[in-house]
Structure formats: C-alpha cells, structure tokens
Amino acid sequence: MNTLASLLAKQSAHNSACDLISPRKPNGWRVMTAEQSAAVDATAPFSNEERSQLELLQFAADLPSSYCAYFGKGAVNTWTGATLLAVTWTGQPFRSNFGDARTPFRAVHVASGTRYYGTSQGEGIICRIRKAKAGKATV
C-alpha cells in the first residue's frame, strides 16, 4: 500500500501533465479528447485503485464533518467500492415529501471510532454523511 505522501506526489504529477496537455477553461473545467487522455496516462499514470487509496488516506487523516459517499450493504463506500465506514444501525425507511423512500443510518470509522450519520435512498446511491456530535448518535 502506498503512503499518503507518495500518492499526493503522484496525483500532483498527473494533474501537472493534464495542465500541460489541456489547460483549464476560464470556468475551471478541462476538456480532453481520448487521445489527450491517453497521452496523460502514458506520461503520468494514476489508477482508480490509487485514487481510492488516496481518498481513504485523506478521509482518515482529516475525518471531515461532512462527506459524500455511497451507501452499501453494511458499509459506506467510496465511488470505487472501498469501505469508508461500517454501518452500525439502519432505521425504518420513510417516504420523503418528494415521494422517494429514504433510510436513516449510523456508521462508524473503524480505525478512529468517529461516528457519522446520514440518510440514504438505497444501496449504491450517493448520500451525504455528517459527523455526529459528541454524545449523539450512539450505537
């Protein structure tokens, strides 16, 4: 497994290669053709597994107060499927005023013990998680 510093350096090299091949537009977006993307990957490869490792290490280092992730069976995951949090409680689904079914849940970051909570619309759907205040959202 790579260290946080080595992954950050690799991500920086990848971003620099992107800037050389296709600079950002004034609105902040970058548009690349398939050939330009292949050229970046050839000069500074940065795989999805490395992106996932970097996301896990940054999450563990910062423990953000709010984060977007994906709700799964028994876990809250990154986009690539790596487990961020272990789900400790799942509530009864309820119907929101928009007509969709939502399920409240509580989760914990296993390494640090930090508790989070959120509401999900189902497995594999993005959800916002929030850090629980001290003494709240106990398991």
| Interval 66-114: pLDDT, tens | 999 999 889 999 988 899 999 999 999 999 999 999 999 999 999 999 9
Confidence at 134, pLDDT banded by 50, 70, 90: confident
Res 77: pLDDT: 93
pLDDT digit string (tens) for 2-35?
788 888 888 888 888 888 888 888 888 888 889 9
The pLDDT of residue 47 is above 90: no
Q: How far apart are the C-alpha atoms of 64 and 66, rounded to whole Å? A: 5
Q: Is the distance from CB of 86 to CB of 73 less than 8 angstroms?
A: no
Q: Is the distance from CB of 118 to CB of 101 less than 8 angstroms?
A: no
Q: Is the distance from CB of 106 to CB of 88 less than 8 angstroms?
A: yes
Q: Output the pTM of the full model.
A: 0.78
The pLDDT of residue 139 is above 70: no
Average pLDDT over residues 128-139: 77
- How far CA 120 is from CA of 54, 58, 113, in Å, comes to 24, 23, 21
